[in-house]
Amino acid sequence: MAAAVHLRPLYSFALPLSAAKAAPSWFPLPAKPGARRRGSRVALLLCSASAPAPASPSPSGGDGAAASAASKWVEWIPRAAAGAGSAAGPEQVLRLISGAAATPICQFVDRPRTFLHSVDPRVKLVWLLALVVLPARSNIYMRFGLVVFLALLSMWILPKHVWKDQLGRVALLSGFLFIMLGFGADGAPSLVQTRTPPPSVVGIPNIPCSTSGYSYTILKLGPLQFTRKGLSVASTSASLSFAIFQSASLCLTTTTPEQLASALWWFMIPLKHIGVPVPEIILTLLLSLRFINLVFDEVRNSALAIVARRINWKKLTAMETIDIFFNYVRRIFKNIFDHAEQISKAMVARGFRGNPSNHKIYFLSESSFGIADLFSLLCLFAVVSLASFSDQLV
């Protein structure tokens, strides 16, 4: 435990002046003019450096009064309330926002350096395209397999505090989509009755029930039902959402903005011959990736600024609380636009006049194809082949 410095005022008492002068640790105070010279009234300030310990009762009342005064000083020190976890909404919302923005989302993390950091960015872009297409073109087992693959890859590549935060939010969003689309795609029974007469009226035998255990309705919950069509739609949408968000996060976390711009330039340079503004697209991508950090920093700093002011939300009306949140959003946009204006002024000061073709873009990195890239392409080929023949295998 760290040592603390305790200052305790003691009651003044009379001492001979010579004794007060002899002791180097006693500080005599000058007597008032006109006071008697029988002795010097000396006020003592006792200074001790020790670990804080609970005060013990003393037969004299002086130490008890000093201990009670010290406890009052301790009570005046601002601390987090004991029931902060159960406090109501606005401050908790701001704390959640600041905590969420503190985690690096879609930002390059250079440590720890993993296998995915050494993969060529062009191979990563091919993987991104495949992970967007495969969930929509494969069966349900392959979709959930891709989700598990991305989750395990994120746990291996990303730092622990990053993947815990990201996987939790992406899984929550994907689960919400799965439930809503599963019960909403084909959940409500049709109110339109069929115009075909029953088989008994026409005179044909009834169609026998399936003996293989097949059932179109998987789950029935009150007026809602979870059908096979709902399962197909929900699994496709949830898996696609998870794959898009998590694969993009993995790519941006392990690849610098310059490397991504260089890979996209390599793929898009043939389109320049048919009039596609490739330099404008690459410059916009670079600025956007650089601007993501500023946005998250502004969101977090503005939320922390409101929390640090210790607002008593219980004394505010609903309109005053809403006004604070509107000012919070307005401050975020104002700071973001100020940053954008500073960036534009810096570009103009360096000679930029709106035509990226007249300026050379330095990517600061050279792409090279190695063993890790070859292994990644072989894994991609295996995954695509498995997704293509998954219907025959199941």
Q: What is the pLDDT of residue 75?
A: 52
Specify whether 125 is located in the same domain as 231: yes
Q: Model confidence at 103, in pLDDT bands (50, 70, 90)? A: low
Residue type at position 382? A
- Of residues 295 and 72, more confidently modeled: 295
- Look at residue 271 and tell me whether its pLDDT is greater than 60: yes
Number of domains, the chain: 2
Least confident of 56-65, 90-99, 179-188, 256-265: 56-65
Average pLDDT for the chain: 75
- Of residues 376 and 16, more confidently modeled: 376
Question: Does residue 300 lie within any of the structural domains?
Answer: yes
Specify whether 239 is located in the same domain as 380: yes
Domain holding 274, by residue range, is 256-363
Specify whether 115 is located in the same domain as 228: yes
Joined tokens for residue 349: 């000061």
27-43: per-residue pLDDT in tens? 444 554 554 444 444 44
Looking at the chain, the whole-number percentage of residues with pLDDT higher than 90 is 17
Specify whether 107 is located in the same domain as 229: yes
- Of residues 77 and 137, more confidently modeled: 137
The SS3 of residue 14 is strand
From the list 150, 190, 146, 142, the residue with the least C-alpha distance to 167 is 150
Mean pLDDT throughout 354-364? 71
Q: What is the pLDDT of residue 47?
A: 41
Specify whether 279 is located in the same domain as 251: no
Specify whether 243 is located in the same domain as 388: yes
- Look at residue 353 and tell me whether its pLDDT is greater than 60: yes
pTM score: 0.65
Tokens 């009762």 correspond to: 57
Q: Model confidence at 312, in pLDDT bands (50, 70, 90)? A: confident
Question: Does residue 9 lie within any of the structural domains?
Answer: no
Specify whether 117 is located in the same domain as 236: yes
Specify whether 345 is located in the same domain as 381: no
Specify whether 236 is located in the same domain as 383: yes
Mean pLDDT throughout 51-64? 47
Beta bridge partners of residue 331, listed in sequence order: none
HEC letters along 124-151: HHHHHHHHHHHHHHCCHHHHHHHHHHHH
Q: Model confidence at 238, in pLDDT bands (50, 70, 90)? A: very high
Q: What is the pLDDT of residue 123?
A: 92
- Collect contacts of 168-171 with beta carbons under 8 A, ≥24 apart: 169/100, 170/241, 170/242, 170/245, 170/246, 170/249, 171/242
Joined tokens for residue 274: 């048919």
Specify whether 236 is located in the same domain as 170: yes
User: Which DSSP category does 2 fall into?
Assistant: -
Question: Does residue 43 lie within any of the structural domains?
Answer: no
